[in-house]
């Protein structure tokens, strides 16, 4: 048995944040029903990457779910959705604030038909505040929430993270909040409303920068791949163009690195202490960079690891797919995409001794319509046929 078996989730999410949240719950055993528009499905189904003409975008964020189509703009479709919600535990949505109220499925509406329902709303700026209605995608949240300002270098200017970190972080926070609400409901018997904003999630990721600014008025500068508090610590280019990340800022690691490099210039007593190396950052880093340029990435990583110094190659996708460690951890899994064949996706990072994550491909558009209508909503064959003819599903 999996931890969330017996929990039913209606996933109204689009693009990344809400579908990713639903997928996390599905991985833990929840019955997650992805509701899409009849015919076209979620808008993201037209986005790349593609394999044999089939989009892999939706497949990346919707494994282990059931698929249902409902025309929520029709009165009958909306009533069908409410029936489904009435028999469910959680609803996830990421429409623009105010949309679900216009649809008639706000939290106030839903708790009238199901007092135990947990409704989680994801938006860019949240459901309250002067900019609540402002639209946002991942880069907007990264910029507004501060991540852009601390990413990159002084020369590059502000930079985004290399992935949709705002979408993914928001999905994680929402799943965490839903689990907390489920636990609380076991005591109170009541559901609740969850309001998660992408911008809020980014602000929460701002490390000690918030406290430092509040206490000392310090605005953090972009420092690229360096560690502003430790030296040497950076991403180093090697002689064949590869890169290795190394952190040898601690005194013990510094002694090991000095011995490995073997350059007597590094024995300068100014470099003996942590703060001394920070004060002489450019001198130290120049000497360290020169050593890396005499090695290939593989040589540098091997020698550093053998010496007991923390480091890693900078893996691109080829490096990830070639890593025995990543494959041994089950971080890459194969699933079928109808029409495309077997494709590789990232697996779950959660490893549980008694409830391992299993994988089933993302549903096709409306794949489980008949099953859900019969087994959950107890509709007759005649009613199902009518829904199809009237394009309600």
> What is the C-alpha separation between 190 and 194, in angstroms, rounded?
13
**Is the Cβ–Cβ distance between 138 and 107 less than 8 Å?**
no
User: Cα separation of 173 and 198, whole Å?
Assistant: 10
Q: Per the residue annotation, which of 167, 195, 200, 234 is the catalytic one?
A: 167
Q: How far apart are CA 1 and CA 92, in angstroms?
A: 24
Q: Could you confirm whether 316 is annotated as catalytic?
A: no
With tokens 């708790």, the residue in question is: 111
Q: How far is CA 38 from the centre of its chain?
A: 27
79, 385 contact by CB (below 8 A): no
**CB-based burial label for 35 (10 Å; 0-12, 13-18, 19+):** buried
Q: Are 113 and 82 in contact (CB under 8 A)?
A: yes
Tokens (6 digits) for 376: 């959950």
- Tell me how far apart the 2 most distant CA atoms of the chain are, in Å: 87
Positions marked catalytic: 167
């Amino acid at each position: 048995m999996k931890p969330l078996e017996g929990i039913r989730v209606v996933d109204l999410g689009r693009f990344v944040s809400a579908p990713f949240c639903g997928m996390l719950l599905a991985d833990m055993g929840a019955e997650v029903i992805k509701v899409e528009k009849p015919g076209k499905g979620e808008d993201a189904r037209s986005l790349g990457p593609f394999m044999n003409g089939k989009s892999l975008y939706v497949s990346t964020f919707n494994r282990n779910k059931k698929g249902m189509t409902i025309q929520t703009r029709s009165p009958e479709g909306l009533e069908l959705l409410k029936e489904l919600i009435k028999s469910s535990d959680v609803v996830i949505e990421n429409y623009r604030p105010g949309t679900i109220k216009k649809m008639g499925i706000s939290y106030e509406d839903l708790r009238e038909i199901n007092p135990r329902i947990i409704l989680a709303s994801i938006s860019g700026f949240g459901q309250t505040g002067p900019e609540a209605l402002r639209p946002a995608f991942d880069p907007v949240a990264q910029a507004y929430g501060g991540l852009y300002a601390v990413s990159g270098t002084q020369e590059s200017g502000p930079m985004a993270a290399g992935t949709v970190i705002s979408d993914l972080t928001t999905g994680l926070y929402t799943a965490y909040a839903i689990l907390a609400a489920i636990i609380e409901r076991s005591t109170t018997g009541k559901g609740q409303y969850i309001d998660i904003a992408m911008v809020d999630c980014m602000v929460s990721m701002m490390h000690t920068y918030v406290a430092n600014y509040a206490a000392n008025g310090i605005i953090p500068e972009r420092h690229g791949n360096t560690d502003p508090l430790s030296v040497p610590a950076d991403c180093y280019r090697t002689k064949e163009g590869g890169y290795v990340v190394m952190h040898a800022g601690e005194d013990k690691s510094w002694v090991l690195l000095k011995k490995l490099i073997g350059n007597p210039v590094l024995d300068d007593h100014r470099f003996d202490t942590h703060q001394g190396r920070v004060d002489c950052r450019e001198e130290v880093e120049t000497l360290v960079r020169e050593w890396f340029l005499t090695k290939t990435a593989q040589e540098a990583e091997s020698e550093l690891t053998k010496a007991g110094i923390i480091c890693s190659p900078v893996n691109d996708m080829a490096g990830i797919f070639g890593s025995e460690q990543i494959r041994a951890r089950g971080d890459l899994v194969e699933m079928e995409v109808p029409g495309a064949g077997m494709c590789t996706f990232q697996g779950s990072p959660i490893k549980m001794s008694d409830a391992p994550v299993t994988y089933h491909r993302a549903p096709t558009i409306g794949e489980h319509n008949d099953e859900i209508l019969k087994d959950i909503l107890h509709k007759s064959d005649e009613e199902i046929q009518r829904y199809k003819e009237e394009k309600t599903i």
